[in-house]
Amino acid sequence: MKNWSIGVKLALQITLVIVSVMAVIGVLGVYQQERKFTSILLARAEWALQQLAINLEMPMWNLDDDQVDHILQSYLSDADILSIEIAEPESEQLIRHVAKDPTTLESVDFDLDAPREFFYADAFSRQAEIIHEEEAIGRLEIVFSRQFITSQRQETMAMMGIALLSLICVETLILLFLVKRKISDPLAANVQAATRIAQGDVDIQLPEIRSEDEIGSLNAAFHHMIAYLREMASRATQISTGDLRNE
């Protein structure tokens, strides 16, 4: 197993914390954006539902089937609308039903004598009454696609993912540079000094680190220890030569 330096380990741990925090922020951001886009789509759906109910009032009252068909096809051309049903106000009897094929998205005008339903996986429906002079003359139901929300969510996640990865790469490089300069290199110098001192070499030139932290204190302690050992070595040399003077 590869032995990583303390600087690399520290940089990776800090990066992991940053990634975790930013991932949480990213998830919350996507959730907020989805709520925003959902509100927009629901508002658009409600507006389209009410406008269609208003536009169908007079053609249905006048039994103008051609105008009703024209209005329905016009609204069905909207990318967010998948199906439109008009039923009797007090029953489930359909008056008109147009929809898009889920596979081809082509418009289909259903035969009311042999009705069939399409299944839309990512959709929701809204209902409203068609009112003429305060009397319900029909019940309108529109099925709306949620593809707008899905596509916006995917786009948001992709953008946030790219931004997150870019930021992580930049932060990791900066952390590695700073950790190497401020931690790894000073610690490596102190470790090298300790190793050479343990081998009896007191002539090592240890760089001085001027920082008010643990690494600076450790470096200062090594300098004091080297100075002390040199003094002891000098006295030992004097004694070995017969010089017993205590200067």
**pLDDT tens-digit readout, 175-217:** 778 877 777 777 777 778 778 777 777 777 777 777 767 777 7
Residue 116 has a pLDDT of 60
pLDDT digits (tens, 9 = 90+) for 49-72: 999 999 999 988 888 888 999 999
144-157: pLDDT as tens digits: 988 888 888 888 88
pLDDT at 114: 54
State residue 1's pLDDT score: 41
Domain residue limits, the chain: 6-152
CATH 3.30.450 matches 6-152: yes
Provide the pLDDT confidence category of residue 5 given band limits of 50, 70 and 90: low
pLDDT at residue 123 above 50?
yes
- Give me the residues paired with residue 109 across strands: 98
- Bridge partners of residue 99, in order along the sequence: 83, 108
The region of weakest confidence among 22-26, 114-118, 164-168 is: 114-118
Work out the average pLDDT over 119-140. Answer: 88
List of long-range contacts for 6-11, beta carbons under 8 Å, 24+ apart = 6/183, 6/184, 6/187, 7/176, 7/179, 7/180, 7/183, 7/184, 7/187, 8/176, 8/179, 8/184, 10/179, 10/183, 11/172, 11/175, 11/176, 11/179
Whether the predicted pLDDT of 82 surpasses 80: yes
| Residue with more model confidence, 240 or 40 | 40
Between 176 and 127, the more confident residue is: 127
- Does the structure show a pLDDT above 60 at 133? yes
